[in-house]
Amino acid sequence: MKMPARVVGEEKVKLKKSFIKPWMGIKYLFKKPVTIKIPFEKIEPAPKYRGFHTLDWKKCIGCNFCGQICPARAIEMTWIEGEKRPHPKVDYGRCTFCQFCVDVCPTGALGFSENFYLTTGGLEEDLELYDWVPIDPQKVRELNERFGDYRFPVERIKFNRETREVTYYLRDGTEFKFKILGYGLKPPAAAKPKPAAKPAAKTAPKPAEKKEAKTEKPAEKPTEKKEEPKAEEKKE
Amino acid sequence: MDMNEKKVEEKIENAQPVEEKPTLPDTKEGRLVKLILEKAPYAEGNVRRERRVEFKVPAERIHEFLELASEKFEMLMQISTVDWLKEGEFELVYQLWSVSEGVHAFVRTRVPRENAKLPTVMDIWPVAETYEREAHEFFGIIFEGNPRLGPFILEPREYEKHPLRKDFNTLSYVKTIYGEDFDRYDESKTNYVI
Ligand code: SF4
Ligand code: SF4
């Protein structure tokens, strides 16, 4: 039977054995070695290297598209005090950095940065660092410009299990605080009475605003969104 | 039925809905299918597209058919199994490759889910031994005549559980092994949204 493929003759690919030829490798002894001396030299990741996420809290509408597409099930929607919609929380213990979630995000809220260094010790409180609600891209960019070493923008994450308060100690020394009310798609039942009670304790003008927003939940989303993140910024 | 009609509209090649003598295109694939069907009238065959043909064979005659097909299709590339839970059947797809013609063939056969038994094809392609062990381990299909249908890839505690069957609940099995909650962090990611 005629073979459809073209076949190269064996005499062309078969090499003669040689005693001398392996010694030709010695020529590299005198050439500059191809290596990067990591602590002293830097490597620049590609401009769209898939690294840690960034999340624009003003844009995220809590649709959970990112949570649905995630092949590693690394995203859990998180209800944050002061936010009307849940935001994704990314677990880097599971994340494969495929960035499907970034592509699927309908509002472009979820993005990614080139940062890729993240090392911790093995203690439980160190490991909290691998589980975060990504912060604003602007902030990450700022930190990158300042340090330029592509490390995780947060140095330490403290999670208080009683009060459920999370504190991000960013690399430039600022703190970023918020409170987690619950997880999942449904608004946390336990948290419902809280928003009414909490702001009363903290700030005076807020409660009215909150209650308004609560009653008119489905009606006016855009205005709410604009209001809420501002509060976040202030905290920051 | 509906599907078939659609296909007819799109492709004249496949012609005539269902059954027995679909007119085969006058190509290398078409002739190949015709040649085999002449010798094996019990099978159904058609041409999917260029270099891709398909046969449907009743399970009791699969060995006979494959032996016949092995004249033209020298290589067995894979035995893949599909679990059709609603129909209560396993579908075995023997993927054959014809080195001389450059044609890929799918030979499909169906066996009932309970007590699925098939003759081994090791005597035709020795490599079938491995593929059959895999199908045995993951789906519990018994290939009569294969001497090595024992523990293969899975750990001992997973053996005989047939994890790729559709009625095997992976998540609940994982929970019995690693505990209810295998997340380090506060929330639990053990529920699946989709
Ligand atoms: S990050 Fe994007 S995809 Fe995920 S919940 Fe927010 S808006 Fe939806
Ligand atoms: S990058 Fe991929 S694995 Fe990581 S959270 Fe996004 S979708 Fe999930």
CATH number at residue A115: 3.30.70
Domain residues for A173?
52-181
Would you call A160 helix, strand, or coil by DSSP?
strand
- Residues A169, A176: Cα–Cα separation, whole Å: 7
- Consecutive H or E run containing B96: strand B89-98
Contact B79, B132 (CB under 8 A): yes
A14-64 pLDDT, tens per residue? Answer: 988 999 999 999 999 999 999 999 889 988 999 999 999 999 999 999 999
- Residues A81, A182: Cα–Cα separation, whole Å: 9
- Residues B164, B155: Cα–Cα separation, whole Å: 14
Q: How many domains does chain A have?
A: 1
Q: Would you say residue A2 lies in a domain?
A: no
pLDDT at B21: 55
Above 90 in pLDDT, residue A100? yes
- Longest Cα–Cα distance of chain B, Å, equals 65
Q: Residue A68 is nearest to which of B185, B186, B194, comparing CB atoms?
A: B194
Contacts of A1 (CB under 8 A, 6+ apart): B100
> What's the mean pLDDT in A146-156?
89
pLDDT at A198: 39
Q: Would you say residue A228 lies in a domain?
A: no
Q: Which of A168, A171, A169 is nearest to A180 (CA)?
A: A168
- The single residue listed with the structure tokens 């918020």 is A178
Chain B residues with CB inside 8 Å of A183's CB? 186-188
A62-76 pLDDT, tens per residue? Answer: 999 999 999 988 998
Kindly state whether A186 is in contact with chain B, defined as any CB-CB distance less than 8 angstroms. no
Opening angle at CA B106, ends B101 and B109, nearest 5? 145
- Residues B22, B36: Cα–Cα separation, whole Å: 14
- Residues B68, A149: Cα–Cα separation, whole Å: 65
**What is the mean pLDDT of each successive set of 10 residues along chain B, which is 194 residues long?**
49 48 78 90 89 92 91 92 92 92 92 91 92 92 90 87 90 85 78 63
What is the distance of C-alpha B69 from the center of its chain? 16
Would you tell me how many other CB atoms lie within 10 Å of the CB of residue B66?
A: 24
Above 50 in pLDDT, residue A233? no
pLDDT at A190: 59
**Numbered residues of chain B with Cβ closer than 8 Å to any chain A Cβ:** 100, 102, 183-189, 192-194
Kindly state whether A185 is in contact with chain B, defined as any CB-CB distance less than 8 angstroms. yes
Q: Residue A91 is nearest to which of B102, B185, B192, comparing CB atoms?
A: B185
pLDDT at B141: 92
- DSSP code per residue over A86-122: -EEEEETTT-----HHHHH-TTS-EEE-S--B----S
Chain A residues with CB inside 8 Å of B189's CB? 73-74, 76, 91, 94
Above 70 in pLDDT, residue A81? yes
Q: Is the ipTM of this complex over 0.90?
A: no
Q: Residue A159 is nearest to which of B186, B192, B194, comparing CB atoms?
A: B186
- Residues A25, A160: Cα–Cα separation, whole Å: 60
pLDDT at A178: 92
Opening angle at CA A109, ends A107 and A224, nearest 5? 80
Q: Which of B26, B117, B105, B18 is nearest to B66 (CA)?
A: B105
Q: Would you say residue A117 lies in a domain?
A: yes
Q: Would you say residue A188 lies in a domain?
A: no
Q: Would you say residue A3 lies in a domain?
A: no
Q: Would you say residue A236 lies in a domain?
A: no
What is the distance of C-alpha B17 from the center of its chain? 23
Chain A residues with CB inside 8 Å of B102's CB? 4
Contact B99, B156 (CB under 8 A): no
Distances (CA, A) of B12 to B56, B103, B193: 20, 21, 43
pLDDT at A102: 94
Mean pLDDT (chain A) is 80
- Residues A102, A50: Cα–Cα separation, whole Å: 10
pLDDT at A4: 58
Which residue minimizes the CA distance to atom 3 of ligand 1?
Answer: A105
A181-204 pLDDT, tens per residue? Answer: 988 888 887 555 444 433 433 333
Above 80 in pLDDT, residue A221? no
Q: Would you say residue A105 lies in a domain?
A: yes
Q: Report whether residue A110 contacts ligand 2, using a CB cutoff of 6 Å.
A: no
Q: Would you say residue A162 lies in a domain?
A: yes
